[in-house]
Amino acid sequence: VDVRSQLGKGSMFSIGVILAPDKLPFAENLQPGEKDQTDATSRHTGAILVIEDDRDLCELLEVVLTEEGHRPATAPDGASALDLIAHGLRPDLILADYNLPHGMDGLDVAAKVRDILHRRIPVIVLTGDISTDTLRRIASQDCVQLNKPVNAVDVTQTIQHLLLIPPAVSHPSAARRSEARHAPDMPVIFVVDDDSHVREGIRS
């Protein structure tokens, strides 16, 4: 059980429950003897660096990612994440908490990893802070934001989407330029809401 509160802005209460792998929210309910009809070749997997100081959430993410076929490596803070990079880890994607201990937040760590590896690695930032300044900062660094408490389905679907983007256009500004050539009048709409059902409904 966790609570985060900011004077004058509000409070967020959450209950984290670690489920057995066959009970995870994204698991399909298959009848005995049935095979998963999802084409394995359509799933993209990779090495994922998870930076999260909440041990329970970190363990849950590790289970979810492993079940999806990814190769997760976990770190509780920025220094530990950079140490993994120094010892040869080359992540295909970074999944980082926004608020991390010891001086570096998730965006700081992601920027350092990108600089060290000279690659625009896709980054997902998990945060319970949905203030305008925070959202703008996340967007300005070409990162995708997911709200805490995080939903396993949102995480896995977002990872699949980001891993599908070819490296040549993985830089969002390049993607925007490409889109602008084909659809110059198409508006960009940001949906900011802490209710995932509302977000999904609006997106649909």
Domain boundaries, position 102: 44-166
Mean pLDDT of 170-188: 50
pLDDT per position as a tens digit, 68-122: 999 999 999 999 999 999 999 999 999 999 999 988 999 999 999 999 999 999 9
Where residue 1 falls among pLDDT bands split at 50, 70, 90?
confident
Specify the pLDDT at position 99: 92
Residue 95 lies in a domain: yes
**CATH number for position 64:** 3.40.50.2300
Where residue 30 falls among pLDDT bands split at 50, 70, 90?
very low
Question: How much is the pTM?
Answer: 0.63
- In total, the chain counts a number of residues equal to 204
Extract long-range pairs of 41-46: CB within 8 Å, 24+ residues apart.
Answer: 43/68, 43/69, 43/160, 44/160, 44/163, 44/164, 45/69, 45/70, 45/71, 45/163, 46/70, 46/71, 46/91, 46/92, 46/93, 46/163
Residue 174 lies in a domain: no
